[in-house]
A and B are shown apart, each in its own frame.
Chain A
């Protein structure tokens, strides 16, 4: 299988664009989907956001100068689109709050996760109450085992900022457990 940069060069030179883009998608689609799903928590939303991300990649790939790794750029777009989605959902939830007395938490708790143990539920709720950026950094660091440099590039912050986000997330999780 060709490397990312080879595929990107072919795409930029208009050589079998669709075929080349399909290869790029097949290589990275699962990681992108999982990164999004861990944040939005259900499949339908993750699918919507993932599609938006790949359409954006198609539109912008001609201008990609390969100054950073393709995956860093890809995950950064995925990160931004996920945050956009969450912000929109929050706005929707706020506007519907007055109408049906619901809230974002009850809406977003309709995840498609299997029935879980108590500790599992606590973990899920604990992670869900983290601010988006801290939640994202926590996922990338703990589950994807990315170094802070890459996390900083994806989330558009400094290495120090990314480290601080991780440790603040841990602190908030600790406080959440103590409170329950």
Chain B
């Protein structure tokens, strides 16, 4: 029923065109447009494939991965990122801890400890100071070779 309706509709539409131009001229027009050079279709597919191949040579090759391979690649990438993050983070960590420890130590040192530290360093400085003086005296009074003169003068 529906097929008949569709067929009738098509016939009616075609008749509209045939009232303007004859059926023959319409089919002649169509035949003229259907013509192609001899052997055109014989080598058409080869020419198209050749063009596709040439176009693909310039492109990067695309691999398709199975579902398992996709997960494996994703896991590897994640592992690489995580490892890099951990390593980078570790190399930065000691500096930060040192600073914190230093801050706490300075605040927590008692006055007695500081005085003791200064005294200790004073004696070290004294020792250094003495050795420098002896060097200096040797240089200044090379004739009598005695250190006492200079030490007395300085005092």
Chain A residues with CB under 8 Å of chain B are: 14, 18, 21-22, 25-26, 29-30, 33-34, 37-38, 41, 43, 47, 50-51, 54-55, 58, 112-114, 116-117, 119-120, 122-124, 126-127, 138, 141-143, 145, 147, 166-167, 170, 173-174, 177
- Which chain B positions have C-beta within 8 A of A138? 17
Provide a sorted-by-A list of 22 A–B residue pairs whose CB atoms are within 8 angstroms.
A21-B45, A25-B44, A25-B45, A25-B48, A26-B45, A29-B45, A33-B40, A37-B34, A41-B33, A43-B36, A47-B40, A55-B52, A58-B48, A113-B33, A119-B25, A120-B28, A123-B21, A126-B21, A142-B13, A145-B10, A147-B6, A170-B16
Cα A38 to Cα B14 in complex, Å, equals 18
Interface membership of chain B positions 1-19, coded 1 if the CB is closer than 8 angstroms to chain A and 0 otherwise: 0000010001001101100
CB distance from A30 to the nearest CB of B (A): 6
Does A119 contact B13, Cβ atoms closer than 8 Å? no
Kindly list the 6 A-B residue pairs having the minimum CB-CB distance in the complex, ordered from nearest. Answer: A25-B45, A38-B33, A113-B32, A54-B48, A22-B45, A143-B30
B contacts with A, residue count (CB < 8 A): 31
Cα A167 to Cα B32 in complex, Å, equals 24
Does B21 contact A51, Cβ atoms closer than 8 Å? no
Does A170 contact B20, Cβ atoms closer than 8 Å? yes
A-B contact count (CB 8 A): 88
- Which chain B positions have C-beta within 8 A of A170? 16-17, 20
Cα A26 to Cα B35 in complex, Å, equals 17
Interface of A is mostly: helix
Also in contact, A33 and B36, with CB within 8 A (given A25-B45, A119-B21): yes
Cα A117 to Cα B28 in complex, Å, equals 10
- Which chain A positions have C-beta within 8 A of B30? 38, 143
Does A119 contact B22, Cβ atoms closer than 8 Å? yes
